[in-house]
Amino acid sequence: MRTKAVISSALLILFVATAQGQRASTPAEIRQAETDVPRLAEVLDLKPRMSVADVGAGFGAMTIVMAKWLGPAGRVFASDIVPAQLAALRDATVREHLDNVTVIEGSDRSTNLPNACCDAIFMRDVYHHFTRPEEMDRSVLAALRPSGRLAIIDFEPEPGSKLPDGVPANRGGHGIAPAIVVDELHAAGLTHVTTILNWPPDSNPAEYFLVLFVKP
């Protein structure tokens, strides 16, 4: 957290949400997002006023911080498929007075994002859960504007880990290899820019990898 006031605000949000029976992003999640968003913005070549989608936004820590980073003239589309997380996202936008966030209910085969709505899209800890990756990848491609960027942040499966229900068997367990991400998004029509094997860059040991694409 940058200031004690922000910490107090995050703690208040957590207290109110818990009292109402609604999960919210924790202070630790907000702190991590405040560290991660500027790094991700650099990789995605983001500027204030741009439009970004957080696919698989969860309880909204990255969405909240990204919306503030982009400023009121920017736009964040926060997509998820879990009803409790969609409710938490909507509550968060009201509490934080974020008029520049649009919450969208996705599906197992589409992000349901509007066509050509985004300068960039990111997914954190999401892609390896896709049961219909080809259809999802096509919806991601459609949502990006020309020259738009996509960041997939995910982790490699541990040997012997259980394959999530319904996902393709080539995942090899719970997670996904960067090479498979590259192959699938390339097949969808995106161009691979780079793979960062250690994300965030200062994590030790590595928690995630980041694969970056651009729409031609």
* Inside any domain, residue 182: yes
Is 24 part of a structural domain of the chain?
no
CATH number of domain containing 144: 3.40.50.150
Side-chain half-sphere CA neighbours of 146 within 13 A: 1
9, part of any domain: no
Range of the domain at 89: 32-214
Q: How many domains does the chain have?
A: 1
Q: Is residue 186 included in any domain, yes or no?
A: yes
pLDDT for the residue numbered 202? 84
What one-character-per-residue DSSP string does the chain give?
A: ---HHHHHHHHHHHHHHHHTT-----HHHHHHHHHHHHHHHHHTT--TT-EEEEET-TTSHHHHHHHHHH-TTSEEEEEES-HHHHHHHHHHHHHTT-TTEEEEE--SS---PPTT-EEEEEEES-GGG-SSHHHHHHHHHHHEEEEEEEEEEE-PPPTTPPPPTTS-GGG-SSS--HHHHHHHHHHHTPEEEEEEEEESTT-SS--EEEEEEE--
Picking from 134, 122, 110, the residue whose alpha carbon sits closest to that of residue 210 is 122
Residue 43 within any structural domain of the chain: yes
Q: At what angle do helices 27-43 and 4-19 cross, to 10 degrees?
A: 120
Q: What is the pLDDT of residue 97?
A: 96
Answer whether residue 192 is part of any domain. Answer: yes
Task: Render each residue's pLDDT in the chain as its tens digit; 216 residues.
Answer: 323 233 333 333 333 333 333 577 899 999 999 999 999 999 999 999 999 999 999 999 999 999 999 999 999 999 999 999 999 999 999 999 999 999 999 999 999 999 999 999 999 999 999 999 999 999 999 999 999 999 999 999 999 999 999 999 999 999 999 999 999 999 999 999 999 999 998 888 888 999 999 999
Inside any domain, residue 59: yes
Residue 15 is predicted with a pLDDT of 32
Is residue 161 situated within a structural domain? yes
pLDDT at 22: 55
